[in-house]
Structure formats: structure tokens, C-alpha cells
Amino acid sequence: MDRFPSRQDYELLIYSLPQQYPEIAFSSLHLYPVSRGTAILRGSIRFHGGLELRIFELLDFIAGCIADYSYDVVWSQEPVRWYDPQPHPEIAELASTFPHHRHEPPAIKQNRRPAPGLSFTNPNLHTLIADCIQLELALKKNE
């Protein structure tokens, strides 16, 4: 993507996700305006297999970026992954996607991994949905 989407394009993106991905059973994503140039994206995406992706983004359409985000993935009411941009320069293995990373079991709070595809300057939703689809398949395999 060459430029960050406009608010109207971002709305089109979020409200068309269920049509783009047959794996999505339900989406409660909604864009809430904060000011003329900023908005909050909040809600969740539920997949047919039971996985839920909870989304929070603070969007700055004037600067053309995601100013902050938090993404949580829940399986059977248990957190199985979350993504955040809290910098951890002391962890060398996270340098490839700095500051973007994800937490996953075991020891989910301390177990951090790089999060390729996440960005402040491009929408993250397609990357997150693809990750969730793969994660859901892996979780179902291990049931």
C-alpha cells in the first residue's frame, strides 16, 4: 500500500472483512470518530472455529498512521496470543519487527516473538486475520 487509507477507505475495509474472508462468522468492528482526523477502531472478529480476535486501534488519518494498537486473540475464553508495540530493545530476537511483537504461550506475558506484517503505516487487519486462521487450524489440530 502506497499511502495510509482515508477514513472512508478504512471504513470500507473493516465493514467488508466478512465478505472477504469466509472464515469470519461475525464482526463487531466499528470506527468511532474522536476528532476531525482521528478515530478509534474497536470490536472483535469471531471465526467459525471459535477463535476471537479483539481489536483496538487509535487511527490518525491526518498523519496517515495507526498511532497505537492492541490486538488480543482468545480461544475458549482463554488468551492465546496478543500483539502490541511496546518497545523491548533489550530483546535482540525482536529487532526484525521492532517494536511490533506478539506474546504467546507458554508463559504468555514473557514469551515474545516477532510479529511480521504489523505496521504503524499500513492496516494490520489482513495480517492479523491470516495469523488467526493459521492459529485456529493449529489449535483445532491439538484438541
pLDDT tens-digit profile of 80-132?
999 999 988 888 998 999 999 999 989 888 899 999 999 999 999 999 999 99
| Domain tally, the chain | 1
Which triple of cell numbers denotes residue 103? 506474546
Is 2 a domain residue?
Answer: no
pLDDT average, residue stretch 67-75? 97
pLDDT at 142: 75
Is 98 a domain residue?
Answer: yes
Is 105 a domain residue?
Answer: yes
What value, to the nearest 5°, has the Cα angle with vertex 44 and ends 39 and 45? Answer: 125
Percent of the chain with pLDDT over 90: 82
Is 49 a domain residue?
Answer: yes
91 DSSP assignment? -
Is 1 a domain residue?
Answer: no
Is 82 a domain residue?
Answer: yes
Is 50 a domain residue?
Answer: yes
Question: Does the pLDDT value for residue 43 go beyond 60?
Answer: yes
Question: Does the pLDDT value for residue 1 go beyond 60?
Answer: no
Nearest to 60 by CA among 5, 117, 2: 5
Is 33 a domain residue?
Answer: yes
Q: Which range marks the domain in which residue 130 is found?
A: 7-141
pLDDT class for 3, splitting at 50, 70, 90? confident
CA distance 92 to 12: 38
Average pLDDT, the chain: 94
pLDDT at 143: 67
